[in-house]
Amino acid sequence: MKYARLTREQFEELHPEFINFLATQSITAEAWSQLKAEKPLVAEQELDVFSDLIWEGVLTRVGYMENIGPQSLHLFHLPEKEMRLISVKVNNPEIDLQTPEGFGWFKKNWQSDWVEYLTASKAYSDDPNRDKFELIRKGAVITKGELFRWFEEIVEI
């Protein structure tokens, strides 16, 4: 398995797609039930293959991610050639950006001496989707990129 198995909830959400996946392999509902009962390891492998296919599709299309910590924002733009980062660090230990109050403080004080900005870019490895998945494993979430684009106009990259 290249990425991670989808959760039960994700499988439930993707049930029609999973049925189509099984159908492309000529596995009917009856055959699937039989496979799970008689060859559970093979059934597990099918779940893993489907999970990787879904992840591959999602990761190929993702354009932005964010990882928000108590005192930092890591905003990623993921175009084709390299990943770009805008990093925001709040040097006030009383502020937690993960709370509405902390983020509210930040919106009012983003230009203060309490806030530092850093930008960087990095070439992908030979497997860009794996690089993107590692960001998710480290806590990043896929976004539409509003924060990145807003900061991009303010911070020169």
Decide which of 54 and 25 is more confident.
Answer: 54
Quick one: pLDDT at residue 25?
A: 87
**Residue carrying structure tokens 């175009």:** 79
Instruction: Specify whether 75 is located in the same domain as 141.
Output: yes
Which of 63 and 156 is assigned the larger pLDDT?
Answer: 63
CB 90 within 8 A of CB 72: yes
57 and 118: one domain?
A: no
- Tell me the mean pLDDT in the region 11-17: 93
Query: What whole-number percentage of the chain has pLDDT above 70?
Result: 98
Q: How far apart are CA 123 and CA 81, in angstroms?
A: 7
79 and 129 belong to one structural domain: yes
Asked if 102 and 69 touch (Cβ cutoff 8 Å), the reply is no
**Would you place residue 156 in the very low, low, confident or very high pLDDT band (cuts 50, 70, 90)?**
low
E-state strands within the chain: 64-68, 72-77, 82-90, 115-123, 141-143
Indicate if 19 and 94 belong to the same structural domain.
no
117 strand-pairing partners = 88
Q: Is residue 128 included in any domain, yes or no? A: yes
Mean of the pLDDT values across residues 107-134? 94
